[in-house]
Chains A and B, each alone.
Chain A
Amino acid sequence: MAYGPHTTEDRARMLKAIGVDSVDDLFADIPPSLRSTGLNLPPPESEVELSARLRTLADRNRVDLVSFLGAGAYRHFTPAVVDQLLLRGEFYTAYTPYQPEISQGTLQTIYEYQSMMAELTGLDVVSASHYDGASATAEGALMSCRASRRDRVLISRSVHPHYRQTLCTYFAGASLVADEIPLVADGPAAGTTDLVALERMLADADRPVAGVVVANPSFLGLLEPMAEVGRLAHAAGALFVSVVEPVSLAVLAPPREYDADIAAGDGQPLGLPLSYGGPYLGILACREALVRQIPGRLVGMTADVDGRRAFVMTLRAREQDIRREKASSNICTNQALCALAAAMYLAAIGPHGLRDVAALGAARAAELEAALAAVGVRRLHPGPYLNEFAVRVPGAARVHARLVEWGILAGLPLARVLPDDPSLADALLVCATEVTTPEDIAAFAAALDEELAGAAR
């Protein structure tokens, strides 16, 4: 067997100790009518064959393209030290730290993660991690329902469509209502959350609102009027759930400053590989007053019987293994190793490094905006953005496909994920980060120029 230690003699010794002739005897409890006759799967592969197969599959993905894709998953540089340390088997082959005496490594790293995320968001309580940004957002919205004992949440269309779809799935199960707040159609605030509509929706006395969910930056890359959203939500007795991107928090106002009660987001930009969607890192944070509503594990500082500082999972009465059907969520396994990676990333680049990542992305994005404008491709919305924005390109889907042949991944054709919004029919969502180079930008603009000229001819 590939990884097992047992020799034929070992197996014979075990059978003898048990007192049976054959391993088949141990499966006698399986009713004969339910027994299957083996697996119809390929034969085992040696490591030589397997590594070649995996390399071939990996090479079939085109990761050589110059990419301007963001839309909820971002390309960033990860210092080499992060992955080298992550490969410590003591971290990645450990289980959940239920035995704190021999899990202080994992426990302290989670505490440090919670502390750094609390600092970034300005909120005091951060869960040890959730699955991803989408499920963290859904859990944040569920928290607002539990805390307010109301059953309706308003979620802005500025929130990532996958997050909204996930929230709808979770809400359908719990028989809760999620209504969408529209975006402003035109004018200087085009593409951002419609505050007038929000105020109207909050004013419906028959349908009180538990929480208002808005993302900053929005899915379309725009900066949202978070302070106003917070004021409106609180005036109606609702909680304010802010969906954040952690790198941006180095330079943008954190949730505490605009009075958010809960923050959710994805920690993938903190040095986690793209890996076609996961494993990422669900960030979930809240004010201290909501600590008993937050789902998932929490690590706290305490001392051992000798007075030595130590860390332990705490406030566990919220969790499924203790509270069963009355738990705040069914979450058990989380994304601990991803939280560790994010913490290592933050510690490796430090506060200035994080600010530089955010600011350099913003600078590259501004260069991208200028380069695209120079070939006649302009932004769809006038408002401020950080490092991601939508542009109008006639025949966006076709142009996007053509540009792959130029070696360029021209962002995301928005109609692919938001087909119900006609204003986005010809839009590409593009993004730049610190790894985007001036050469990448020039190549993108030149290729786009050629394609559009070709289409015009």
Chain B
Amino acid sequence: MTAAGDRLEPTLFERSRPGRGGGKIPHPPKDALARIPFGQRRREGPRLPELSEPELTRHYVNLSKLNYAVDTGFYPLGSCTMKYNPKIDEWAARLNGFAALHPFAPDDVAQGTLQLLWELEEALAEIGGMKAVTLQPAAGAQGELTGILMVRAYHRGRGDTDRSEVLVPDSAHGTNPATASMAGFRTVEIPSASDGGVDIEAFRAALGPRTAAVMITNPSTVGLFESRLCELLDAVHEAGALAYMDGANLNAVMGRFKPGEAGFDVMHINVHKTFGTPHGGGGPGAGPVGVGEELVPFLPWPRVLREADGSFRTERLGERPQSIGRMRAFAGNTGVLVRAYAYIRAHGADGLGEVSDDAVLAANYLKSRLSGVLDIPFDRHCMHEFVASGATLKAETGVKTLDVAKRLIDYGFHPPTIYFPHTVDEALLIEPTETESLETMDAFVDALRCIVAEAHDDPELLHSAPHGSPVRRLDETTAARQPNLRWKAMTGSQTPCPD
């Protein structure tokens, strides 16, 4: 399987030759480790790869060329908001004053970062209509856990220990039910209404004295604003439960809708979606959580506070006894938060409103252009994303949404999110974002038109797509049945150290 020609780029371990590399780290004195007891020492050095710097550089540059990325093309991945990542944000996070600051640096030598974090909290609270924000969670899912743990602490703080259920619509991200489980709750899944929105009557029926919280994604995962939101929030609060908003889709509504003002008690924000921080091939993100007044005492510890004299400090241990505690070490993914801060300051109030307006405009434009090409299950104005369906195409040609997605790769596009939400047959969730030009969107429509025509003329071409990508469809079954999760034939480093 690893014969030459059958691989795109050798692994680091195949490129390694004992004796290569070096020149980066000075040699320590010979007796540097003499005081480490023999039994505590590593007997055999780790067999890590040995490469010269030119080899290393080519390895990673070659690998990077096998990736599709926002910097290389259109990435209409619904629910993921793959917008352009501004370059000044990368520059900012690398400023030595930010990058070299130790997390245990005393407050009086960390005033720049503390001010930035405090201002970012304030800005996010304003955008979300929330009373306060924690920046600690490392990603959206950790933000969800933070929020639901605060819900738990809130009910327990009132002596209300019977609330063991969290209601989640069936169209929710998988992180919602998984979060409820991690926080010790039972998930009750509520079916969606036929218009794609939440089924208010089904929610009413499920709400009760055992309900701790309702988790709602708004705009929903089918890209629609929950038009009966007022009724839903009233019912939730009447039942004594709290309303959690999954803020994954905040990019649609900045300046037009503030979840906290509308009555949501808690919400996480994915800064790598709405605020343009890069996805990094899977992370890092940051998942700030905003809360209403009643949850402020339970926010993770420590918070950043502004003193009367305008200086900033972090909360002291035990200063806020009802806090749910820490979600992680140190302050948070600060380097990511610097990028989000830069993004918000670059846009300002007007710019953020324009971001949402343009994101919604672009999604509706793309939806109207695709109408007649694919099924559009929910025929009304969408927010920043919309669901299309390949159900008719599949019935007519046998070509599945997966095939369409894979064929898009041959046309130079990243496929949309497919088979999510689970409530729509053969779903494609399409989110163009506000940073894609009309030319790009039009080319995407043309590609889909061609693909639909191909599906009728030559379905096999699609079943076996992609054809022009670095590799073609993978054998995922063998990967799961006989997992190969590490390179076993490690070589190198068995030569003695130069010292």
CB pair B326 A81 closer than 8 Å: no
Q: With A60-B115, A92-B278, A93-B278 known to touch, is A299 a contact of B348 (CB < 8 Å)?
A: no
Q: CA of A135 to CA of B475 in the docked complex: distance in angstroms? A: 32
How far does the Cβ of B311 sit from chain A's closest Cβ, in whole Å?
Answer: 11
Selected from A36, A53, A67, A309, the residue in CB contact (under 8 A) with B6 is: A309
Which interface residue of B40, B100, B102, B180 has the most chain A CB atoms within 10 A? B102
| Closest CB pairs A-B (n = 5) | A277-B330, A58-B97, A89-B71, A337-B280, A60-B112
CB pair A163 B257 closer than 8 Å: no
How far does the Cβ of A96 sit from chain B's closest Cβ, in whole Å?
Answer: 4
Check: B324 CB closer than 8 A to any chain A CB.
Answer: yes
CB pair A109 B178 closer than 8 Å: no
Q: In this complex, what residue of A is CB-closest to B153?
A: A172
Chain B residues in 8 Å Cβ range of A99: 68, 405, 409, 414-415
Check: B154 CB closer than 8 A to any chain A CB.
Answer: no
CB pair B8 A93 closer than 8 Å: no
CB pair B104 A44 closer than 8 Å: no
Chain A residues in 8 Å Cβ range of B303: none
Selected from B84, B184, B350, the residue in CB contact (under 8 A) with A43 is: B350
Q: In this complex, what residue of B is CB-closest to A227?
A: B39
Check: A297 CB closer than 8 A to any chain B CB.
Answer: yes
CB pair A134 B329 closer than 8 Å: yes
Q: 1/0 per position for A112-126, CB-CB distance to B under 8 A? A: 101110111000111
How far does the Cβ of A414 sit from chain B's closest Cβ, in whole Å?
Answer: 11
Q: Could you list 10 A-B pairs, sorted by A, with CB under 8 Å?
A: A72-B330, A90-B69, A132-B138, A253-B40, A276-B334, A307-B1, A325-B177, A334-B284, A409-B102, A409-B106
CB pair B435 A5 closer than 8 Å: yes
Chain B residues within 8 Å of chain A by Cβ, number: 213
How far does the Cβ of A322 sit from chain B's closest Cβ, in whole Å?
Answer: 7
Check: B274 CB closer than 8 A to any chain A CB.
Answer: no
Q: In this complex, what residue of B is CB-closest to A54?
A: B92
CB pair A4 B487 closer than 8 Å: no
Within 8 A of A (CB), among B443-484: 464, 466, 469-476, 478-480, 483-484
CB pair B483 A298 closer than 8 Å: yes
Q: In this complex, what residue of A is CB-closest to B412?
A: A102
CB pair A101 B471 closer than 8 Å: yes
Chain B residues in 8 Å Cβ range of A305: 464, 472-475
CB pair B109 A314 closer than 8 Å: no
Selected from A47, A67, A105, the residue in CB contact (under 8 A) with B63 is: A105
CB pair A14 B354 closer than 8 Å: no
Selected from B49, B183, B328, the residue in CB contact (under 8 A) with A166 is: B328
How far does the Cβ of B317 sit from chain A's closest Cβ, in whole Å?
Answer: 6
Q: In this complex, what residue of B is CB-closest to A331?
A: B141
Q: CA of A162 to CA of B227 in the docked complex: distance in angstroms? A: 43
CB pair B21 A350 closer than 8 Å: yes
Within 8 A of A (CB), among B149-192: 149, 152, 173-175, 177-184, 187
Chain A residues in 8 Å Cβ range of B66: 102-105, 108
Check: A457 CB closer than 8 A to any chain B CB.
Answer: no
CB pair A38 B175 closer than 8 Å: no
Chain B residues in 8 Å Cβ range of A15: 361
Q: 1/0 per position for A398-425, CB-CB distance to B under 8 A? A: 0011001000010010001101000000
Check: B244 CB closer than 8 A to any chain A CB.
Answer: no
Chain B residues in 8 Å Cβ range of A312: 474, 476, 479
Check: B364 CB closer than 8 A to any chain A CB.
Answer: yes
Stretch at the interface among B29-37, B200-208, B393-401: B29-37
Chain B residues in 8 Å Cβ range of A442: none
Stretch at the interface among A179-187, A204-212, A358-366: A358-366
Q: In this complex, what residue of B is CB-closest to A25?
A: B381
How far does the Cβ of B246 sit from chain A's closest Cβ, in whole Å?
Answer: 12
Chain A residues in 8 Å Cβ range of B483: 291, 298, 300, 314-315
Check: B281 CB closer than 8 A to any chain A CB.
Answer: yes
Q: CA of A104 to CA of B475 in the docked complex: distance in angstroms? A: 14
Check: B308 CB closer than 8 A to any chain A CB.
Answer: no
CB pair A351 B50 closer than 8 Å: yes
Within 8 A of B (CB), among A306-352: 306-310, 312, 314-317, 319-327, 329-338, 340, 343-344, 346-352
Q: In this complex, what residue of A is CB-closest to B420?
A: A321
Q: In this complex, what residue of B is CB-closest to A23?
A: B357
Q: With A90-B71, A96-B282, A303-B474 known to touch, is A6 a contact of B350 (CB < 8 Å)?
A: no
Which interface residue of B227, B326, B415 has the most chain A CB atoms within 10 A? B326
Check: B362 CB closer than 8 A to any chain A CB.
Answer: yes
Q: CA of A254 to CA of B144 in the docked complex: distance in angstroms? A: 34
CB pair B346 A79 closer than 8 Å: no
Q: CA of A404 to CA of B179 in the docked complex: distance in angstroms? A: 43
Within 8 A of B (CB), among A4-29: 4-6, 10-11, 13-15, 17-20, 23, 25-29
How far does the Cβ of B7 sit from chain A's closest Cβ, in whole Å?
Answer: 4
CB pair A112 B12 closer than 8 Å: yes
Q: With A29-B381, A38-B353 known to touch, is A79 a contact of B141 (CB < 8 Å)?
A: no
Which interface residue of A79, A92, A109, A133 has the most chain B CB atoms within 10 A? A92
Q: In this complex, what residue of A is CB-closest to B27?
A: A356
CB pair A17 B141 closer than 8 Å: no
Q: In this complex, what residue of A is CB-closest to B70?
A: A93
Q: In this complex, what residue of B is CB-closest to A273?
A: B99
Q: CA of A79 to CA of B94 in the docked complex: distance in angstroms? A: 15
Q: 1/0 per position for A207-228, CB-CB distance to B under 8 A? A: 0000000000000000100010
Check: B425 CB closer than 8 A to any chain A CB.
Answer: no
Selected from B29, B50, B325, B484, the residue in CB contact (under 8 A) with A302 is: B484
Q: With A35-B257, A276-B331 known to touch, is A2 a contact of B347 (CB < 8 Å)?
A: yes
CB pair B127 A39 closer than 8 Å: yes
CB pair B329 A128 closer than 8 Å: no
Which interface residue of B63, B142, B272 has the most chain A CB atoms within 10 A? B63
CB pair A58 B95 closer than 8 Å: yes
Q: With A100-B474, A322-B174 known to touch, is A85 a contact of B60 (CB < 8 Å)?
A: yes
CB pair B36 A277 closer than 8 Å: no
Check: A165 CB closer than 8 A to any chain B CB.
Answer: yes
Chain B residues in 8 Å Cβ range of A105: 63-67
How far does the Cβ of B424 sit from chain A's closest Cβ, in whole Å?
Answer: 16
Chain B residues in 8 Å Cβ range of A101: 406, 409, 466, 469-474
Chain B residues in 8 Å Cβ range of A322: 174
Q: CA of A386 to CA of B41 in the docked complex: distance in angstroms? A: 11
Q: CA of A186 to CA of B19 in the docked complex: distance in angstroms? A: 46
Check: B297 CB closer than 8 A to any chain A CB.
Answer: no
Chain A residues in 8 Å Cβ range of B276: 3
